[in-house]
Structure 1
Amino acid sequence: EQVKYPILAAFKHYPRTLTACVGARFVEGIAFNVFGVFSLTYLTNSCGLDKTVSLFVIVGAAAVMAVAIPFWGMRADTWGRARIFGIAAILLGITAYPTFWVLHNFSHNVLLVFLAISLPFGIIYGAAYATMSSLFSGSFEPTVRYSAVSFIYQFSGIFASGLTPMIATMLVSSNDGQPWYLCGYLLVAAVISSLSTIWITRLQGKEELPHEPETSAR
């Protein structure tokens, strides 16, 4: 079965699922930019860590993520995609506080800084990223799936990814270089995404495209 305008059909028949998925991806885009992008600036400008060392710390955490993603992908088949993503979403917000506490107070200890970033960025974010695509694609029928997931990823990226570096810089600057406003921002996003994930599971099967009744072959 084909749909002439898949994105319009998705808006018409999956409005709540689209909204829930956009909300669920919110923390993923913010967490990547906070831990994988802004933390480099924070370590060098606010904590005084050498830029090359800071870069290697981020790259090392990304290497941990490269191992974590297939692990969490396999676990999703038995533990459930929504469960892993929802738990990872809220943990990304909670672990922001101890992570930045370590960065702010123990930036001279490179190993401790590496471990502090690897936990949320390498392991927890890896769990969210490993299950996000299958969670979203499984929420739509094949006829509108590609267009719907593309909209979710790109539209949420405007707010979750595009604006986060500027928001992070503003929040830290307004708090005299302290990261706690930024951690609060990430925690709010985590709560939104976790609740949106619960919403996704409750909407499954309640929104769908209308189908023509099958006729018997003659």
Structure 2
Amino acid sequence: MRTVAAKAVPNQVDARTARRITLAGCVGIFAELYDNGIFGFMAGTLALVFFPDSQNAVLLVFVGYAISFFFRPLGGIICGHLGDRIGRQRMLVFVIMLISVATAAIGMLPTYAAIGVAAPCLLILMRILQGFSVGGEAAGAMTFLAEHAPEGKRGLYTSYAQIASFLSLLTGTLIAAAMTSGLGPERMESFGWRIPFLLAIPLGITGIYIRRKITDTPNFTRLKEEGGLSKNPLKEAFASAEHRRAMWLALLIPLMNGSGYYVLFAYMPTFMSTELKFSTVDGLLVTAASLVAISVAIPFMGALSDRIGRKRVIAGAAVAMAIAGIPCYALISTGNVGLAALGASIMAVVFAGHTGVIHILLVELFPTRVRYSAYGLGYNISSAVFGGTAPLLMTFLIGQTGNTYMPAFYAVVTALCTLAAVSRVTDRAHLPLQDA
């Protein structure tokens, strides 16, 4: 294993090129996250189509949702290794191709009524492929954008990718709401549920086309030309005490994602309709309002982190979530659509201070030689253990206790855990990215 002293090289990418690369990256992320998110939005209908004879149909759908997350670390390991060895751009083309095929295939699956138990088995298999590809996407896309961003604006530029991810969720929410309202339950169960998944085809083609047109990052290209690429990035990362510590931080700091991204957005429509007795459309519209709020707030948080540091912004968001989590869920639980939208939107703005900054903080923990692999492993394990299982855990706990405030308690606990972890970080917001 080659050991190289860490060095920092200022990024010389001009602003115009950085904007073009960022736009291209965001389009790909939009397609990728739409494909992954639509599964959560359609959980109620998928339960009827694939588990019609079960009293725990929604729970079983979220079991399938959770299983896929345990393949994210595998995707992160394999795609991260190849991304650190052969380049970020090639892997980003591969992962968007894989998730687009898997998502479109869900829209073509035969139902339980047609082929019995084989139908949910195929559904879970497609979810596994989605999980694998998203494991390669998260660290790869953020690494790609950060390594292209101008110095002093990495927080702002990478935050655009998070806007794209939440706009993709908003798109999925509005499509699901419009179709549910327009087609009605019977036609949705008959054929309408397939349409959102089949939209992965044009989205995927667009994303693949754009990603094939972009070049690899200056950091990776420079390291490759100098002969500084690692032969085994993950092995090298584990051999370093500093990198091992950074991987632990990459696992623990994203804990707030479990109560934010995966509960507040992916699980919320199902929670509101099954537990709070909102109509399906009202639940989706409340989620849509919160998605608009977070999309507006994210770039401000990214830019703020460029000025005052990542650590302060994330810590502030964690404290605010610990304080506001329960009162905001109280607003949601009133049953009033307006108050529910207000509560969800306040939580969304608070969560923007975490999700808009978390990825650039993690990118900055690692040098170029091992960044994709080490960041991807830590973050994807966190997503698998604390994120993908969150809807399943909430469904189970509410079913066992009858307490609909379980998501609020989860928000407070994960926020406090994130606060404790981020306090251990050395902030590198105002330093160039490490190359080696």
Instruction: Find out whether 1:2 has 2:229 as its counterpart.
Output: yes
Letter in 2 for 1:86: A
Q: How does 1:50-199 map to 2 (within 5 A)?
A: 50-104=279-333, 106-108=334-336, 110-121=337-348, 123-176=349-402, 178-199=403-424
CA contact 2:319–2:416 (8 Å) conserved in 1: yes
Q: Describe the superposition over 1:42-78 as per-residue Cα deviations: whole angstroms up to 9, x where unpaired.
A: 2212222111011011012111111111111111111
Give the greater-gyration-radius structure (CA).
2
Letter in 1 for 2:405: W
The change in CA–CA distance for 1:8 and 1:94 in structure 2 (over 3 A counts) is farther
Instruction: Find out whether 1:28 has 2:257 as its counterpart.
Output: yes
What's the secondary structure of 1:3's corresponding residue? coil
Shift of 1:94: 3.1
User: Given the two structures, how large is their TM-score scaled by the length of structure 2?
Assistant: 0.44
Matches of 1:182 and 1:57, distance apart in 2 = 16
Matches of 1:51 and 1:181, distance apart in 2 = 20
Matches of 1:93 and 1:12, distance apart in 2 = 36
- Runs (4+) of structure 1 exceeding 6 A deviation are none
| Identical residues among aligned pairs (%) | 22
Shift of 1:202: 8.0
Matches of 2:411 and 2:268, distance apart in 1 = 13
Shift of 1:91: 2.6
Matches of 2:271 and 2:324, distance apart in 1 = 17
Higher relative contact order (CA 8 A, sep 6+): 1
Which stretches in structure 1 are left out of the alignment for 5+ residues? 212-218
CA contact 1:17–1:203 (8 Å) conserved in 2: no
The 10-residue stretch of structure 1 (142-151 or 178-187) with the greater mean CA deviation from structure 2: 178-187
Q: Describe the superposition over 1:126-160 as per-residue Cα deviations: whole angstroms up to 9, x where unpaired.
A: 12111111101111112111111111221111112
User: Given the two structures, how large is their TM-score scaled by the length of structure 1?
Assistant: 0.85
The change in CA–CA distance for 1:67 and 1:202 in structure 2 (over 3 A counts) is closer
Matches of 1:157 and 1:30, distance apart in 2 = 11
> Please, what is the CA RMSD of the aligned residues?
2.1
The change in CA–CA distance for 1:58 and 1:154 in structure 2 (over 3 A counts) is same
Matches of 2:356 and 2:406, distance apart in 1 = 28
Letter in 2 for 1:142: T
CA contact 2:236–2:370 (8 Å) conserved in 1: yes
Q: Aligned pair count? A: 202
Matches of 1:68 and 1:202, distance apart in 2 = 22
Matches of 2:236 and 2:320, distance apart in 1 = 34
Matches of 1:93 and 1:34, distance apart in 2 = 15
Matches of 2:237 and 2:319, distance apart in 1 = 28
Select which of 10, 17, 32 maps to 2:246.
17
Q: Describe the superposition over 1:58-112 as per-residue Cα deviations: whole angstroms up to 9, x where unpaired.
A: 01211111111111111111121111112212333332211221122x212x221
CA contact 2:310–2:427 (8 Å) conserved in 1: no
